[in-house]
């Protein structure tokens, strides 16, 4: 294709910048006179073909004389198809920015031909039949005059900005979504124009921080004033990375500084708007005040890891801290010490002065313990009156570490021994402490805590208000108890238990009853006496199945005796654990056992020990009354060794008191025990109770008890405990 008028060449060489739309030379071209033919058509043709903008040259009647390849691509027709077409060709139509069809007179070539005036930067759409969406262009146009000043050609250039237009619309939609998101929100909104370098913060944003907009510098120091120093670097770096990457949003937590000096935790969410090249040009978002949420999280953390009454660490936090200390100890080769602290006789305070006073004591104990240790050490309350102190970074030498732990233990004992002012009452209390050192990397934290606990019980056993270190001998005892517990469980399943019977006599020597005493026929240790396994049964809960077996077996024997004219007159005493009595179905259990065996309730005597009666005494008395109504008798065993209230004694429906064997054995040697025995007998008589003395070993004890008014007796002096068959045979010979 050749130019039809080479005079245009001079114009294009002088005014080629007009071909490039908004980025071209801003000088408006005037109508040009014909140019000399000093440049070849070939050179001009090559030049125009390489211009990136579309160029179309129209004749004076709007017919197309020339179009370059860029124009062909934009208009959707080949160069040959374009030549000769006019602006009213139905192949395309032009659209305004608002989407309305452009009038024919406003078509670029028609407009410039009609007015004779050039124009630039007209944005319009070209609708083509082969595309669903218009092609958007920026259009410039001017005319070329001949020698006589008449219009010879009209030149129209246009640059494809479809992608920019799409980006603009996307930005508009994003802004609209953002406005809808922020509309009615209680969050603090903000908007940064990265191109203009301006920042906008909503009134809620300023209110959140207590500032007025003009109170902070509008420069680089702005963020230094707002961001918490510890968060500044990380926050700004996170935003920078988000802007440089292809992210469209970001979310982060940071702390902002309020005008009054406090810190406001916020959740910042940002939406990044980018241009067609992916460059971030705007960021907008919101800040949500997390103060309330953080407070709730702190409360949850406090409840999860701290004791509500004292504010000390609880068991969960202690175990976590202990595991951390264990790992640190392995690295640094330092020792750890656990001090297990239990208040002595704390229950007595609760029972006498009330739980409110007990709480005051626990709070003061917690405060004193914290003053006895370093800040880096941990003080915890496990529950009740049990506390644990963990000492870290002790000497690597076990002996030196033990000395350090002992010094702290002595300091704690001295502090806890000092008087307590509980409201108007001055109260004194002591504590027992068990200490265990961690020096074995294979040892678990649970094991260490158990060792300290065991040492504490040793301190209590030695008289309280002292401390003991754990030693392997204690662990041996623990292992022995564990083995015995397993054996006892198996023994109950294998029916290795047996009842022995010891006769009871009146002062005339006549047998009036017997006491059932349990024994354990161990396959390795032979016959095991109750003192060796009953305490273990109490602490492990095995006393319940064992006690039920004893009661059932004793009632079977009592029912068998009822069929013998001589044995049928005997009563039978059965020891009952307070754990059994506290079971909800205890009364029903006793009645059921009696009915199943046909035993006479009037000949059954249930023996309760004095120790522990002060707990739930009303419930215990109610159950005793219910069984008393069907004829069951009750004896109070080991009387005088506990702290039973005389009021409890008068309320309980007792039948009999048993003088503890410790008084019986010492009565012949110590006047105080003889006096106690006499007082117990006199007290029982005044309450209408019979008195029986147990564990009488010799004639001197027997005579002394008789002289002090005791009328019923039991002990090896009269006969040792025997299996049922042997007991019945020996007793039958002496019964009338």
> Residue 363, exposed/middle/buried by CB under 10 A (0-12, 13-18, 19+)?
middle
Where in the chain is CATH 3.30.450.20? Answer: 8-160, 166-294
Where in the chain is CATH 3.20.20.450? Answer: 488-732
Q: DSSP for 317-372?
A: HHHHHHHHHHHHHHHHT-EEEEEEEEETTHHHHHHHH-HHHHHHHHHHHHHHHHHH
What are the backbone angles phi and psi of residue 483, rounded to the nearest 5°? Answer: -65, -40
What are the backbone angles phi and psi of residue 470, rounded to the nearest 5°? Answer: -70, 140
Chain mean position to CA 52:
66
Side-by-side strand order, sheet with 467-469: 378-383, 386-394, 335-343, 431-438, 467-469
Enumerate the H helices of 398-516 as residue ranges.
398-417, 445-461, 472-493
Q: 166-294 has which CATH code? A: 3.30.450.20
Report the greatest alpha carbon distance in the chain: 167
Nearest CA to 634 among 601, 588, 672, 669? Answer: 601
Give the span between the Cα atoms of 499 and 512, in whole angstroms.
Answer: 19
Give the span between the Cα atoms of 398 and 267, in whole angstroms.
Answer: 50
Nearest CA to 362 among 307, 318, 317, 414? Answer: 307
Chain mean position to CA 732:
70
Q: What is the pLDDT of residue 291?
A: 82
The encoded tokens of residue 137 equal 């262009």
pLDDT tens digits for range 152-203: 899 999 999 988 888 777 777 766 666 655 555 567 888 888 888 888 888 8
Give the span between the Cα atoms of 274 and 178, in whole angstroms.
Answer: 14
Q: What is the pLDDT of residue 372?
A: 94
Q: What is the pLDDT of residue 476?
A: 67
Strands 633-639 and 604-609: parallel
Give the span between the Cα atoms of 465 and 458, in whole angstroms.
Answer: 11
Q: 8-160 has which CATH code? A: 3.30.450.20
Contact indicator for 581, 620 with CB cutoff of 8 Å: yes
Side-by-side strand order, sheet with 54-59: 64-67, 54-59, 151-160, 135-145, 119-127, 93-95
Q: What is the pLDDT of residue 396?
A: 84
In the DSSP assignment, the letter for residue 531 is G
In the DSSP assignment, the letter for residue 644 is -
Contacts (Cβ under 8 Å, ≥6 apart) of 418: 368
Handedness of CA 509, 514, 518, 524 (dihedral sign): positive
Q: What is the pLDDT of residue 385?
A: 93
Tell me the sheet residues that pair with 663. none
In the DSSP assignment, the letter for residue 17 is G
The CATH architecture to which 306-470 belongs is 2-Layer Sandwich (3.30)
Give the span between the Cα atoms of 567 and 736, in whole angstroms.
Answer: 10
Q: What is the pLDDT of residue 221?
A: 72
Give the span between the Cα atoms of 467 and 407, in whole angstroms.
Answer: 11
Give the CATH fold of the 488-732 domain: TIM Barrel (3.20.20)
Q: What is the pLDDT of residue 37?
A: 46
Cα of first residue to Cα of last residue in the chain, in angstroms, is 152
Contact indicator for 328, 334 with CB cutoff of 8 Å: yes
To 5 degrees, how large is the angle CA 112–CA 116–CA 118? 60
Please compute, for residue 244, the number of CA atoms within 13 A of its CA located in the half-sphere on the CB side.
6
Within 47-169, strands assigned E span 54-59, 64-67, 93-95, 119-127, 135-145, 151-160
Q: What is the pLDDT of residue 191?
A: 86
Mean pLDDT per block of 10 residues along the chain (736 residues) reads 37 38 39 44 75 90 91 91 86 83 89 90 90 91 88 91 82 66 67 85 87 79 82 87 89 90 90 86 87 77 81 90 85 88 89 88 95 92 93 85 88 94 90 86 78 90 87 67 88 95 93 96 92 88 95 96 91 95 95 96 93 80 96 87 65 90 75 79 89 92 91 94 93 68
For the full predicted model, state whether its pTM sits above 0.85.
no
Q: What is the pLDDT of residue 11?
A: 37
């Amino acid at each position: 294709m050749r130019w039809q008028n080479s005079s245009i060449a001079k114009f294009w060489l002088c005014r080629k910048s007009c071909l490039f739309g908004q980025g071209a030379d801003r000088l408006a071209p005037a109508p040009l006179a014909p140019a000399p033919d000093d440049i070849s058509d070939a050179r001009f043709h090559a030049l125009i073909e390489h211009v990136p903008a579309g160029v179309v040259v129209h004749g004076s009647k709007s017919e197309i004389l020339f179009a370059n390849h860029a124009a062909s691509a934009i208009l959707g027709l080949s160069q040959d198809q374009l030549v000769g077409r006019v602006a009213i060709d139905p192949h395309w139509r032009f659209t305004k920015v608002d989407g309305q069809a452009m009038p024919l007179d406003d078509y670029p070539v028609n407009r410039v031909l009609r007015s004779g005036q050039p124009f630039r930067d007209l944005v319009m759409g070209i609708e083509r039949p082969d595309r669903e969406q218009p092609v958007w262009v920026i259009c410039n146009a001017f005319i070329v005059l001949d020698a006589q000043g008449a219009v010879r050609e009209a030149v129209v250039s246009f640059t494809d900005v479809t992608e920019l237009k799409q980006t603009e619309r996307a930005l508009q939609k994003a802004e609209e979504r953002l406005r809808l998101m922020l509309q009615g929100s209680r969050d603090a909104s903000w908007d940064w124009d990265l191109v203009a370098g301006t920042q906008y913060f909503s009134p809620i944003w300023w209110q959140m921080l207590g500032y007025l907009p003009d109170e902070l510098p509008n420069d680089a120091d702005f963020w230094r004033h707002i961001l918490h120093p510890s968060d500044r670097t990380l926050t700004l770096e996170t935003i920078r990375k988000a802007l440089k990457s292809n992210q469209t949003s970001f979310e982060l937590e940071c702390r902002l500084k309020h005008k009054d000096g406090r810190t406001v935790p916020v959740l910042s969410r940002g939406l990044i708007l980018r241009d067609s090249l992916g460059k971030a040009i705007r960021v907008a978002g919101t800040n949500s005040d997390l103060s309330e949420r953080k407070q709730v999280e702190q409360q949850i953390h406090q409840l999860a890891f701290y004791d509500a009454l004292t504010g000390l660490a609880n068991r969960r936090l202690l175990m976590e801290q202990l595991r951390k200390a264990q790992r640190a100890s392995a690295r640094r080769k330092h020792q750890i010490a656990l001090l297990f602290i239990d208040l002595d006789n704390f229950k007595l305070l609760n029972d006498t002065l009330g739980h409110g006073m007990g709480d005051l004591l626990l709070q003061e104990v917690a405060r004193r313990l914290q003053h006895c240790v370093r800040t880096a050490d941990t003080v915890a309350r496990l529950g009740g009156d049990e506390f644990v102190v963990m000492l870290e970074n002790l000497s690597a030498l076990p002996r030196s570490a033990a000395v350090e732990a002992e010094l702290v233990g002595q300091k704690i004992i001295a502090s806890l021994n000092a008087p307590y002012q509980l409201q108007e009452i001055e109260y004194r209390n002591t504590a027992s402490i068990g200490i265990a050192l961690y020096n074995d990397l294979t040892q678990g934290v649970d094991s260490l805590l158990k060792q300290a606990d065991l040492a504490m019980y040793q301190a209590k056993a030695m008289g309280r208000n002292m401390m003991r270190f754990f030693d392997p001998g204690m662990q041996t005892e623990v292992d022995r108890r564990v083995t015995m517990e397993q054996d006892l469980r198996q023994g109950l399943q294998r029916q290795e238990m047996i009842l022995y019977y010891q006769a009871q006599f009146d002062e005339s020597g006549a047998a009036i009853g017997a006491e059932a005493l349990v024994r354990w026929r161990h396959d390795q240790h032979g016959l095991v006496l109750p003192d060796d396994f009953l305490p273990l049964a109490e602490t492990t809960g095995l006393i319940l199945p064992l006690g039920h077996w004893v009661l059932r077996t004793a009632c079977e024997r009592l029912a068998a005796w009822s069929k013998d004219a001589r044995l049928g007159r005997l009563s039978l005493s059965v020891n009952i654990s307070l754990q059994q009595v506290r079971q909800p179905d205890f009364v029903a259990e006793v009645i059921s056992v009696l009915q199943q065996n046909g035993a006479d309730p009037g000949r059954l005597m249930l023996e309760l020990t004095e120790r522990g009666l002060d707990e739930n005494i009303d419930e215990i008395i109610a159950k005793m009354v219910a069984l008393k109504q069907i004829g069951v008798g009750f004896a109070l065993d080991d009387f005088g060794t506990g702290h039973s209230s005389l009021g409890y004694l008068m309320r309980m429906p007792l039948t009999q008191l048993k003088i503890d064997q410790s008084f019986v054995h010492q009565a012949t040697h110590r006047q105080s025990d003889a006096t106690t025995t006499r007082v117990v007998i006199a007290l029982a008589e005044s309450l209408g109770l019979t008195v029986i003395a147990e564990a009488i070993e010799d004639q001197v004890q027997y005579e002394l008890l008789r002289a002090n008014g005791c009328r019923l007796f039991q002990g090896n002096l009269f006969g040792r405990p025997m299996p049922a068959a042997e007991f019945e045979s020996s007793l039958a010979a002496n019964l009338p």
